A = this chain, B = another copy of it.
Amino acid sequence: MDEHAQTGWLSRLISRRAVLTTTAVGLTAPAVATSGFVAPRSAAVAQAGTVKKVTIYAEALPGNLYGYGLEPGKATIPGPTLEVYEGDTLEITLVNNTDRRMSIHPHGVDYSTDSDGAPLNNSFNNPGETRVYTWRTREMTSAGDGSRRFMPGSAGYWHYHDHAMGTDHGTLGIARGLYGALVVRRRGDLLPDKQFVVVFNEMSINNQVAPNTPIFEADLGQRVEWIAIGHGNQFHTFHLHAHRWADNRTGMLEGPADPSQVIDNKDLNPGSSFGFQVIAGEGVGPGAWMYHCHVQTHSETGMSGIFLVRNADGTMPAGAQEAIDRFRGHPHGSADPGAATAPTQQHGHH
């Protein structure tokens, strides 16, 4: 790899961080940004919550792809991460700037049939059409039988995706990039310093294949939130080197008696999602750590990327640049050559 290529890679990283900051101000965790506090976990009583209005633009992207964005001309793959607290409502004005029928369908939240995003319920945007989708969330509520049981609330690492392009299940839209993360937090949840979204979509990561897959960056000791989403027709397993998490809602143990299995490899199949927080480099130090699908042929043909843990002061740790060069210099199979030119999205909490 010559110097020019390296510079190109660095400038891309810098521009990504710029996008990131803009995105964070624009949308990520507005509840925190506007209210400035995190309430202690409330009793299981539904709260009125905030209504957040967001306009999302669906657009064509180079390479025969599509993306969702918060401004015209700013669509990314994955789309913007939407984030609320239990009790909040998201009112999404979806502007369809594509020439195909499409929609937005969420997992994990409450919506009436007209916000289903499914053609079954006649809920989609025709080409050029604008339509409002309303997603509501709630806290857990007593099961009403005098026991300690609760009907679950909405908190979770969820996702949204097209459900109308190409077929009644949005198969074309999903394949071409119309998906993103949706985080619903419970009061008292820990907020991360950084947030990464990894979508195993058919044989790609975020519609990219190695070496063009995302290099996710954090400084040693930062609290990093990973959100993993599966799409397509293949089965996958998400593996992260040198970090692990509890296989539950938050990735942390909810007390010393939490029985959850601790894992570093998890099934990530179509329609499923999960999230967790780790402390970057905790117990292992900085470096270039692999994340990849653990299905062997999948990692071999491009479903592999790098989690770059920098030193605590943000400088490059010894050996990391060499590892990145090694990664980028390797030939990999390319499942979707056009995908390499599409804009991608990353964001953090500051």
Chain A residues engaging chain B, CB cutoff 8 angstroms: 41, 44, 107-108, 110-113, 116, 118-122, 136, 138, 140, 143, 145, 147-156, 167-169, 171, 174-175, 188, 190, 230-233, 235, 237, 239, 241-242, 244-267, 269-274, 279, 282-285, 287-290, 292, 294-300, 304, 306, 319, 322-323, 326-327, 330
Instruction: Give the contacting residue for A261; candidates B111, B249, B306, B327; CB below 8 A.
Output: B249
B242 touches A282 (CB 8 A): no
A272 CA / B257 CA spacing, docked (Å) = 23
A283 CA / B140 CA spacing, docked (Å) = 12
User: Which residues of B sit under 8 angstroms from A259, Cβ to Cβ?
Assistant: 246, 248-250, 253-254, 258, 260
A262 touches B153 (CB 8 A): yes
> Closest residue to A241 on the B side, CB-wise?
B116
> Closest residue to A284 on the B side, CB-wise?
B110
B266 touches A248 (CB 8 A): no
Query: Chain B's nearest CB lies how many Å from the CB of A349?
Result: 15
Q: A169-B292, A235-B235, A237-B269 are in contact. List 14 more A-B contacts (CB 8 A).
A: A107-B239, A108-B263, A108-B264, A112-B284, A116-B241, A116-B287, A121-B319, A122-B323, A152-B262, A154-B262, A169-B304, A237-B271, A261-B274, A270-B296
> Closest residue to A296 on the B side, CB-wise?
B171
User: Which residues of B sit under 8 angstroms from A282, Cβ to Cβ?
Assistant: 151
A-B contact pairs, 30 of them (CB 8 A): A41-B256, A110-B242, A113-B284, A113-B287, A113-B289, A116-B289, A116-B290, A120-B288, A120-B323, A140-B256, A143-B190, A145-B190, A149-B250, A149-B253, A150-B252, A151-B252, A156-B261, A156-B263, A171-B297, A231-B296, A232-B295, A237-B269, A237-B270, A239-B271, A248-B260, A249-B260, A253-B259, A254-B257, A261-B274, A271-B294
Query: Chain B's nearest CB lies how many Å from the CB of A64?
Result: 17
B233 touches A296 (CB 8 A): yes
Query: Chain B's nearest CB lies how many Å from the CB of A111?
Result: 6
User: Which residues of B sit under 8 angstroms from A231, Cβ to Cβ?
Assistant: 296
A287 touches B112 (CB 8 A): yes
A296 touches B169 (CB 8 A): yes
Contact A118/B269 with A113-B319, A257-B255, A283-B110 known, Cβ cut-off 8 Å:
no
A296 CA / B233 CA spacing, docked (Å) = 6
A347 CA / B309 CA spacing, docked (Å) = 39
User: Which residues of B sit under 8 angstroms from A257, Cβ to Cβ?
Assistant: 148, 254-255
Query: Chain B's nearest CB lies how many Å from the CB of A276?
Result: 9
A149 touches B237 (CB 8 A): no
User: Which residues of B sit under 8 angstroms from A247, Cβ to Cβ?
Assistant: 261
A53 CA / B136 CA spacing, docked (Å) = 48
User: Which residues of B sit under 8 angstroms from A253, Cβ to Cβ?
Assistant: 140, 149-152, 259
- Point out which of A116, A245, A298 has the most chain B C-beta atoms below 10 A from its C-beta: A116
User: Which residues of B sit under 8 angstroms from A254, Cβ to Cβ?
Assistant: 148-149, 257, 259
B267 touches A168 (CB 8 A): no
